[in-house]
Structure 1
Amino acid sequence: MELDIYDETGEVSPEHIRLIESILQMAADYLKLKDNTEMSVTLVDNDTIREINRQYRDKDSATDVISFAIEDEVEDELPLNLEEMEGLPRELGDIFISIERTQEQARDYGHSFERELGFLAVHGFLHLNGYDHMTPEDEKEMFGLQNEILKEYGLERR
């Protein structure tokens, strides 16, 4: 999988960038995604994610992670399936993670920054791949898969 990571905070260590890369590569393998799959992760502060949340979700608050899936169907648009276009890479979309919220939630939940960062990266990744938690059944499926990936990676909740 082709993965671009952008640190807009300038505060994320190379080790944490590598954690995001490796856990998302493992998650891509877990879902058996093709090698020509592409996506990006942008690491931001609370002010930036709050603005994104306000602009795209009409919620005026900072959140932890936001995913923008390319293949999501939008009202009044034709469905787009880039996978069917031979030779073109499959673009999943973009994930934005607030590093400040990651730190806050790790502290609040009593686990490591690494565990929370891995959790948010996988959570956003699953959203890009069509998983959601709007119904109890969908939540059980998504969170179960999320926990399997985190456990296999070695970032299970303690």
Structure 2
Amino acid sequence: MTLNFEYETEIELKLDYEPLIRRVVERSLDTENCPYEVELNIILTDNTEIQAINKEYRGIDSPTDVLSFPMVDYETPADFSHLEEEADDYFNPETGELLLGDIIISVEKVMGQAKEYGHSEERELGFLTAHSMLHLFGYDHMEEEEKAVMEEKQREILDSLEITRD
């Protein structure tokens, strides 16, 4: 597994974020039975930068907590069965790893939402990572049924890692 981390803000997150994100990514891959080693880009930034990205790609001119940019097209969420048919589109030719996509997280939102919801920054960062990973697997939360599935999967991932709201 290759995780490419970029920390693009002067705002300091006061926790060891790389091992935490790595654990959540690994558990997400296991939970969804991903049969491949993956390559993933994780960018930690601030509200100003994530707002600019949100405006450019989603047409929403406000900061958000996390953005997910999947590189894989799924017929149904986490259905990896067709990927090898289109290997040139989905796999790094040098490493053979599945190019899963990009996760962009606002450090400011991690800190603010942890305080707002009364839990740790570790829990908030873990939650946003799990949430984003599910988007990279093709899950969404636009409909109530989809939202319920995503919420249950997020809870399963975080609970199994003992990343709780306490």
Shorter-chain TM-score tier: 0.7 to 0.9
Q: CA deviation at 1:13?
A: 5.3
Q: TM-score, normalised by structure 2?
A: 0.83
> Which residue does the alignment assign to 1:60?
61
Is the aligned partner of 1:118 residue 2:122?
Answer: no
- Cα distance between partner residues in 2 of 1:51 and 1:34: 35
Check 1:9–1:123 CA distance in 2 against 1; reply closer, same or farther (3 A cut).
same
Question: Identity rate of aligned residues, in percent?
Answer: 42
Q: How many residues matched?
A: 151
Q: Deviations over 1:81-122 (max 9, x none)?
A: 643328743211101000001100000000000000000011
TM-score, with structure 1 as normaliser = 0.87
Q: Name the CA distance, whole Å, in 2 between partners of 1:61 and 1:126.
A: 23
Helix, strand or coil: the match of 1:156? coil
Taking CA–CA contacts closer than 8 Å with sequence separation of 6 or more, which of the two structures ends up with the larger relative contact order?
Answer: 2
Long gaps (5+) in structure 2: 75-81
8 Å contact kept, 2:120–2:165: no
Tell me if 1:145 matches 2:153. Answer: yes
2-structure distance, mates of 1:111, 1:45: 20
Query: 2-side partners of 1:107 and 1:13: how far apart?
Result: 14
Q: How does 1:128-139 map to 2 (within 5 A)?
A: 128-139=136-147
CA distance in 2, matches of 1:65, 1:157: 19
Task: Report how far residue 35 of structure 1 moved.
Answer: 3.8
Counterpart-to-counterpart distance in 2, 1:69 and 1:82:
14
RMSD: 1.9
User: 1:65 & 1:2 partners in 2: Cα distance?
Assistant: 20
Trace 1:1-158 onto structure 2 (pairs within 5 A). Answer: 1-9=1-9, 11-12=12-13, 15-72=16-73, 82-84=83-85, 85=87, 88-158=96-166
Q: Distance in 1 between matches of 2:122 and 2:155?
A: 15
Q: Secondary structure at the match of 2:16?
A: helix
- Compute the displacement of 1:24 (Å): 1.0
Q: In the TM superposition, what is the alpha-carbon distance from 1:39 to its structure 2 partner?
A: 1.2
> What do residues 6-53 of structure 1 show as CA deviations (whole Å, max 9, x unaligned)?
111253457222111122112112222234222111000000000000
Closer, same or farther: CA 5–122 of 1 in aligned 2, 3 Å:
same
One-letter amino acid of the structure 1 residue matched with residue 140 of structure 2? D
